[in-house]
Amino acid sequence: MTELRLRMRLMRGEEIALGPGKVDLLEGIERTGSISAAGRELGMSYRRAWKLVETMNRCFANPLVETAKGGHSGGGANLTPEGRQALAAYREMESLAQDAVQANAQTLQDMLAPEPGANVV
């Protein structure tokens, strides 16, 4: 199987303000209303999911994720308006980039050798 993998990282100095993992997490938080549930779905530890949220909230002028009263363990979490905006802008970038490179990616994929063991049609 051949494919073009495209990854985008929004950098603030040396920190990754937004990247594939963080965006997946935002999406999960929006859907589940919980940082830990979202992290679990992605195979992340609770600690890891929290660290990603803290990094995003620190890197952006306004937090992307807000937690309800009850702090880390209780209460649930939600995206702020900025969180929804950042998520949408990133997902749109992914699809704009994929569309833009599609023809060249196909050219390159057609230049690849068949994979060993692949069925030759």
Binding site for a copy of itself (CB under 8 A): 1-13, 17-18, 58-62, 82, 85-86, 89-90, 92-93, 96-97, 99-101, 104-105, 107-109, 111-115
What is the spatial distance between Cα 84 and Cα 78, in angstroms, rounded to a whole number?
Answer: 10
The separation between CA 114 and the C-alpha centre of its own chain, rounded to angstroms, equals 31
Q: Please identify, using beta-carbon distances, which residue of 36 and 60 lies nearer to a copy of itself.
A: 60
Q: Please identify, using beta-carbon distances, which residue of 30 and 82 lies nearer to a copy of itself.
A: 82
What is the spatial distance between Cα 18 and Cα 59, in angstroms, rounded to a whole number?
Answer: 9
Minimum distance from residue 27 beta carbon to a copy of itself (Å): 16
Q: Please identify, using beta-carbon distances, which residue of 11 and 75 lies nearer to a copy of itself.
A: 11
What is the spatial distance between Cα 55 and Cα 99, in angstroms, rounded to a whole number?
Answer: 30
Q: Please identify, using beta-carbon distances, which residue of 45 and 109 lies nearer to a copy of itself.
A: 109
> What is the b/e burial string over 85-108, where b = at least 16 CB atoms within 10 angstroms of the residue's CB?
ebbeebeeeeeeeeeeeeeebeee
Minimum distance from residue 13 beta carbon to a copy of itself (Å): 5
Minimum distance from residue 76 beta carbon to a copy of itself (Å): 24
Start-to-end CA span in the chain (Å): 14
Minimum distance from residue 109 beta carbon to a copy of itself (Å): 7
